[in-house]
Chain A
Amino acid sequence: MKLAEIVDRLDLVVLSAADKLDTEVTGGYASDLLSCVMARARKGNVWVTLQSHLNIVAVASLLQLAGVIITEAMAPDAATLQKATAEGIPILTTSQTTFTVVGHLAQLGIAGSASQEMEAAPTR
């Protein structure tokens, strides 16, 4: 499914890189801890988070994520959006909670991949 369709179905607000919504979304990942995202999110994934700090763009760009959905109406600052625009990372916002967004995504068939759970799993 294209990111544009997710934006449409979930009624997300596009705050940056509106011209980059044509990406095919390969799956999803949700976390507010950047290291966990680094470990498990995959190229083309959509990332659902409460974080709105500038570094989400660095993470999304490094992993070539399709986009970042910021939940609970957390507003990213101008610097974050500027960087996201420069890097071509769509920042999408919603007033819904992470739980609700992930539920909707799952209904649309966006899944976490099995390799996400296996690879780079912390050894405890």
Chain B
Amino acid sequence: MLPGSSDQRVEVTKLQELVYELKIDQVMTRQVITVRPDTTMRQLKEILRLNRISGAPVMQDGTMVGIISIEDLIKALEAGDIDGRVAERMAKQPQTIYADETIMQAVNTFGRYGYGRLPVIDRDGNLVGILTQGDIARGLLRRLEIDYHEEEIHRYRASHIFEDIASDQTGLILRYKVQPKDFVHCGEAASRLKRALERLGAKPSVVRRIAVASYEAETNLAIHATKGGDLIAEVQPERIRIVAVDTGPGIDDVEKALQPGFSTAPDWIRELGFGAGMGLSNIKACSDEMRLESKPGVGTRLEIIICI
């Protein structure tokens, strides 16, 4: 165990775990730049330069016959053989590694042979990728970042906005337009609101309730509102208020609309899975307060309050 704070120890353990857990095909580069045996070293120089790589497998008729690297190129330059062929300078029968092996095996292989890159093959012997030590480092960092992101996002970023911006009442207003009968984009307002709340650091359980409520409110606007409507979210440190407003047609019987299973959605919309008549009950179940006001011919206003 390394000396240091417990945080560092956790980090080291996590890394150890990841090198055994992550598979090579999760971190390798899939787009492999290859050359042919009859490629000249001069061409190779350009290929390496343009692609910013330091080596490439050599392929002939779909089979890997060798590997060539920038060191081979330097030797060719020293020997004044820049117009020679790759075939004469490549390493034959290169060391390979299987795509389904763990990063740990790759780390060992790199350590043992000191290669800059390893061609990755599947169990049938086909070249499926290439792996450098950089790929491993990036793969591990990406994975750590994802884990870190998932753990920390809720605590850290939230405090920011609402603590740094001082006022007697700070609120953030997010407004989304919902188009009528647009089931292609339906759900996007809720998705964007959800993402915003995650950034702001709301708790996952609260985010879920808001996501469900705003999705249902958005769907209602898309299904029913003649001209679509607005989904407006006002985020405050302690609560979020979501208002869905439209300009008609309005609800004939609000009491009835609130009954679970009651729906006025046409058949074609129901066939898409919408209009089950559960929308408003879902919203109610997810919210701390809900108010529905409507006037036929004028419009509908749904207000939802969820404590954060």
Contact = CB atoms under 8 A, between A and B. Distances in A.
B62 interface: no
Interface string B58-86: 00000000000000000000000000000
Contacts of A43: 204, 208
B2 interface: no
B interface, by DSSP: helix, strand, loop or mixed?
A: helix
B261 A55 contact: no
A35 B183 contact: no
A33 interface: yes
A79 B273 contact: no
B191 A61 contact: yes
Q: Which size bracket describes the interface of B in this complex? A: 20 to 34
A39 B219 CA distance: 14
Given A33-B276, A34-B276, A39-B282, A62 B194 contact: yes
Contacts of B216: 35, 38
Contact of A36 (B26, B187, B276): B276
B272 A53 contact: yes
Contacts of B260: 122-124
Contacts of A15: none
Interface of A: 22, 32-36, 38-39, 43, 49, 51, 53-59, 61-63, 79, 119-124
Interface of B: 26, 183-184, 186-188, 190-191, 194, 204, 208, 211-212, 215-216, 219, 260-261, 272-274, 276-279, 281-282, 285-286
